[in-house]
Amino acid sequence: MAIDLTYEQRAFTEAVAEFAKREAGTREQRDALTDGGRHAHHQGIYQQMADLGWIEGAIESMSDTVLFLEQIGYGMLPVGGFPVSAIVAAAIERSGSEEQKKTVLGGFTTGRSYSIAMSEPEAGSDVANLSCRAVADDDGYVIDGQKTWISNAHFADAILLVARTGGAPGDHDGLTMLLVPADTPGLRISGIDTMGGKEVNDLYFTDCRVPADAVVGTAGKGWWQLMAGLNVERLILAGLMLGTARRAFDDTLAYIKERKQFGRPIGSFQVLRHRIADLATEIECCRLLVHRTAELVDRNPQQVLPRESSMVKLKVTEVARETALAGMQMMGGYGYATEYDMERHVRSTLVSTIYGGTSEIQRDIIGKTYGL
């Protein structure tokens, strides 16, 4: 089913796809860019895309953003700085001061990366339970506490921190967003090794001082500012995983057309034909859901869409995971071998159902929108 694209959008997606094929089209190229898959971001590739004006073009609308993300995911481009930076940039655009917008939005479109720090050892899905504290003093705020599972902080220029400036853990009021440069004294960034390589970090704040103008929006109202960004965050994650699901599907399809057992291609066996048919249908449903939700956001950027944004995040990440795992099963031992890309697809899709709000949380939100 065709998605209606403008001439400019079609040209844009084709250009990004061609770039991905040229710069990261082979396993050898991707290994060289990512140290064998250990790093999700290559600044040289990212800078090229920024210099071409693609980062700026990708954020003109939510529809443009998901198109760009789909191509990044499908092309396996090592530009892991883009999705999280786009989430931060959207938050600054909604709530930031003019100076913050100039710094962050300008930096983003020219190749800088940003990180957002919410999760803590005792506060993951329960965001209101944050305890990392920023205490006001005469010159600004003094931050103390820990954040964990923070994507991209090890190469980010600045971190959008969600800290408690009032109230007690469990309160929605009293949370504040602060923009903290990554080189601020008192901030220590420590990497966490994961299945996906070097992606996330622990952040330790010890007497870390930021000026008063580091506050993004209104002090104490960070929770409500975060809620206003749910559409963007969940669509960004869904757009990326849509591309990854499509790539895992195509890699599987190519393999089962070539691999022979019992004298014929394994894709000719009914059990695999039917599995491919089901996956193709699910991915097409995801495409329609992603682009339809992006269209709704573009029509009214101020409207929060809890049901639609949770549905798109839930559906696409679950289908991406299912597609990658099915691909591994259909490829047999080759799907498990690091020589092939399928094991990378599995690793990246498994975590997608956890970050940005787990599948369980998304289901809970969707149920509540129906009065349950």
* Residues marked as catalytic: 233
Q: For 305, which DSSP code?
A: -
In terms of Cα–Cα distance, which of 127, 41, 48, 63 is closest to 299? 63
CA dist 174 and 223 (Å) reads: 8
Q: Which residue in 143, 256, 119, 128 sits closest to 201, CA to CA?
A: 119
- Alpha carbon separation from 296 to 84, 166, 303, 308 (Å, rounded): 21, 35, 9, 9
Distance CA 235, CA 307 (A): 12
- How would you classify the pairing of strands 175-181 and 140-151? unpaired
The tokens 């206003």 sit on which residue?
A: 228
Alpha carbon separation from 333 to 242, 327, 337 (Å, rounded)? 25, 11, 6
Distance separating alpha carbons of residues 248 and 345, to the nearest angstrom: 6
- Please, how many CA atoms are within 13 Å of residue 56, restricted to the half-sphere of its CB? 10
Distance CA 311, CA 238 (A): 10
Token pair listed for 168: 């007690």
Residue 281's CB is within 10 A of a number of other CB atoms, namely 11
- For residue 114, which of 194, 187, 182 has the smallest C-alpha distance? 182
Beta strands 140-151; 133-137: pairing state: antiparallel
Amino acid identity of residue 209, one-letter, is R
Distance between CA atoms of residues 248 and 341, nearest Å = 8
CA distance 370 to 372: 6
